[in-house]
Structures are given as C-alpha cells and as structure tokens.
Chains A and B, each alone.
Chain A
Amino acid sequence: MKVKVKFFAALRECVGSSEITREIGEGSTVGELWEALQRDYPKLTPVNMALLYAVNRDYVNTGHVLQDEDEVVFVPPVSGG
C-alpha cells in the first residue's frame, strides 16, 4: 500500500521535497515509516528534534497503524505566533 508524506519547514529543507509517495508494508506504524524515511533520506538521520505525528490532519502517536492512501506529516516543533 501507499501513503502520501508531506514535509514542512526544516524537514522539507532536509528532504529537498515537500511531498512524496512511499510504498509501505501492511500494518506499518507511523514510527516505522519514519525509520524507513531515515534510510531513504540519510539527512533525516541526524534530525534531533521533538517531532509530532499527524495522519489525515489529526495528531496521532508513533504506534498509529497506517492505512492505504493516508496523508502523513512529521511535524517539526511548531513556532507560530
């Protein structure tokens, strides 16, 4: 199955892309997707910030199981205001 991953701010600059589609195994979690992306994009490996995880525009925890066609965002520390 496939998920759409959007990158913003510091992570967008790390990856060099604002949106990708990634093939993942059935039952993959958000945390497992992050680990897979760190292998795809070595620049993500040293990323040392407290990420939040959003699936289909709602915050979820790292163990959230992904579904086909989900929109996933790894949210760097927010700094609006």
Chain B
Amino acid sequence: MFRVTEKSLDLHELIVFVSSPMAGAIATFLGTARNHNSGRRVISLEYEAYPEMAERELARVGEEARRRWDVERIAIVHRIGPVQISEVSVAIAVSAAHRHEAFEACRFAIEELKKTVPIWKKEVFEDGEIWIGTQSERPLNPATEPKNG
C-alpha cells in the first residue's frame, strides 16, 4: 500500500494491511506535526505532492526495502493538504518474520522517503510561512555544482 491522501491517517488500516501469518513482528512509524521548528512557533503544516510520481516513488522505496531486508509486507501512506499540530502526516507499517528486519526496513522507509519522494512541507508561523528545504543555498547551474558535494 503506497498512497498519498487528503484524509486523516489511520494506522490501524496499515497494520491490518501488513498483517501476515508469516510475520512475527510489525514495526510502525508515525510522523506527527510538531509545534516548533528552529525556535519558531509553528501554527500548522501544509503538504503538497506530485501525487502520481509520489506514489510511484513510495512504491520504489518499498521495493528497495524489500530488496535489502526479508520483509513480508510494507505500507506507506502520506497525508497532503493542511495538517494540524499533533496530527499524523505520514504512517508506515512493515511486517517481517523477525523484529530486526521490521525495525530496519521501517527506519529505511522514512529516511528514504525524506530524500526522494516528491512531497513538500510548508510550515505556517504566526508571522509568515516557508516551504521547508527551499532555503538551502546551492548553485542551480549543474556545471558549477561541486563534484560530489
């Protein structure tokens, strides 16, 4: 199950999806909307996705996790649109025969999601808003980019 959705997320639905008689463990991760960042009070979050590609990339993350660890089933669902403080923005569930694989694959899934999946987070403050990640300063012209950072 690899989805982006405007609806609030239900971890139980993911757990049911990854449940398997072959599994001895289910690891889960929830990302939740934090009320502060870099010392500023965050009022709410807003997520935007390139939905068709985001779901493909989530599936690719799942395939890569499956290639690295012996896991049974994986579910990754990301919410888009407005997300209030304390609400869940991303939910991941991984089932595996043993807990080590379930934990590792679950952690890999969230770390990889943050690197490659075309989803963007806007933090709304009392006195402004910012798209997270876009404040990074690197040259745009690839010819002038440093080799391998």
Contact = CB atoms under 8 A, between A and B. Distances in A.
Interface residues of B, number: 34
Interface of A: 6, 8-10, 12-13, 31, 34, 47-51, 54, 57, 59, 61-62, 73, 75-81
Given A8-B50, A54-B53, A80 B140 contact: no
11 contacts: A8-B118, A8-B120, A10-B131, A49-B133, A49-B135, A54-B118, A78-B114, A79-B121, A79-B132, A80-B114, A81-B31
Q: In terms of DSSP, what is the predominant structure of the interface of chain A?
A: loop
B134 to A, nearest CB: 4
Given A76-B131, A80-B121, A81-B114, A8 B48 contact: yes
B48 A9 contact: yes
B136 interface: yes
Contacts of A48: 137-140
B120 A79 contact: yes
Interface of B: 31, 47-50, 52-54, 56, 78, 89-90, 110, 113-122, 131-140, 142
A73 B53 CA distance: 10
B147 to A, nearest CB: 14
A64 B139 CA distance: 19
A46 B85 CA distance: 32
Given A76-B120, A78-B133, 8 more contacts: A31-B142, A48-B137, A76-B131, A76-B133, A79-B114, A79-B120, A80-B117, A81-B110
